[in-house]
Amino acid sequence: MPEIPELEAVRAYFNVHIAGKAILSAGTRIPVVFRTPAAELRETLPGDAFAETSRRGKFLLINLASGRVLAVNPMLTGRFQFVPPGTRLAAKTCLVLGVEGDRHLRYVDERLMGKVYLLPADALGAIPGWTKNGPDLMDPALTEEEWLRRLRKHRGQVKAILTNAEFVQGIGNAYSDEILWEARVNPYTARTALAVEDLRRLFAAAREVMARATPLVAAAMTRDGNLDYEERRDFMQVHRRGGQPCPRCGAPITEITANQRITSFCRTCQP
C-alpha cells in the first residue's frame, strides 16, 4: 500500500518532470476507479496543464493550471507511471494522460481499489472523510504537543490508532510496524497504558521513519528517467520479516495476521 514515502517520492518526481507541461489527451480505460464521470476526464483534461503536485495523507493532489485538482488515493495497489507512449500497457491501466514532450502519465491499479477525483481546488471537502480526517503526519503544524492532544481523543490499541486517518493521515500498516519498533512500543498495547514518554517517542519515531524511508524509496522508483516501479520495502526492520532476527536484539520477529492485516514486531524490544 502506498504510504507517505511512496507518495512523497512520486510528488517530488512529478514536480520535476510534469509541472508546467500540457495535457494533450486523456484515455479512461477502466472507469471503476473514477469518482468523477469518465467522460468529464476525457473531455476536459486535454488542453489543461500540470501545476505543482502536493500531498495530503494518502492522497496525491495533482494541481492543474485550470484551478482544478486531480486527487488520487491509490489505496492498496495503485501505482503511477511516467513513460514513453510505446511502453507496454499494464493490464489494469485505468487512466492514460498524453503529456507534452511525448510521454504518458498512467495510473495502474491491480485490484482496482483506488479512487480518482477531478474537482475544483476549493471543493476537495466533497471527498468522503476529507474534513473529518486529522492532519498529515508531516504537516509542520502537527507539533509534539498537538500529537499528544490528539492521541488523548483515541482509545484502543496503539497500532490501530496510528493507522486511523481521523488521528493523523499517511500512516499505513507497514510503516506503523516500523514506527512502533523504532519507538520500542508493542502494537497491541492500549494507548491508555502508555506513558507520556512512550507517546513522545512515537512522535519522534514516526517523523524519523518517514524521513529515512522516502529517499530510499525514491531511488528505486526511476529507471532511465522513467517513473516505473514496484514498491521497495527491503530496508524495513521488522515488517513482513517474521521469524528473522530482530536487527536490534537478535530475537526472532513475531508476525501475526488478523483481519487480513499483518503485524510484525519484536516481543523482546517491544514487550
Amino acid present at 81: Q
In a domain, 202, yes or no: yes
**pLDDT tens readout for residues 114-173:** 999 999 999 999 999 999 999 999 999 999 999 999 999 999 999 999 999 999 999 999
| Residue 2 pLDDT | 87
Q: 156 and 65 share a domain? A: no
| Residue 1 pLDDT | 72
**The pTM of the whole model exceeds 0.85:** yes
Q: 104 and 214 share a domain? A: no
- CATH number, domain containing residue 45: 3.20.190.10
| Residue 260 pLDDT | 78
Q: Exposed (0-12), middle (13-18) or buried (19+): which is 128, by Cβ within 10 Å? A: exposed
What is the distance between the terminal CA atoms of the chain, rounded to a whole angstrom?
27
| Residue 228 pLDDT | 84
Give yes or no for a contact between 264 and 35, defined as CB atoms under 8 angstroms apart: no
Binned at pLDDT 50, 70 and 90, residue 229 comes out as confident
Q: Is the pLDDT of residue 112 over 90?
A: yes
Q: 150 and 39 share a domain? A: no
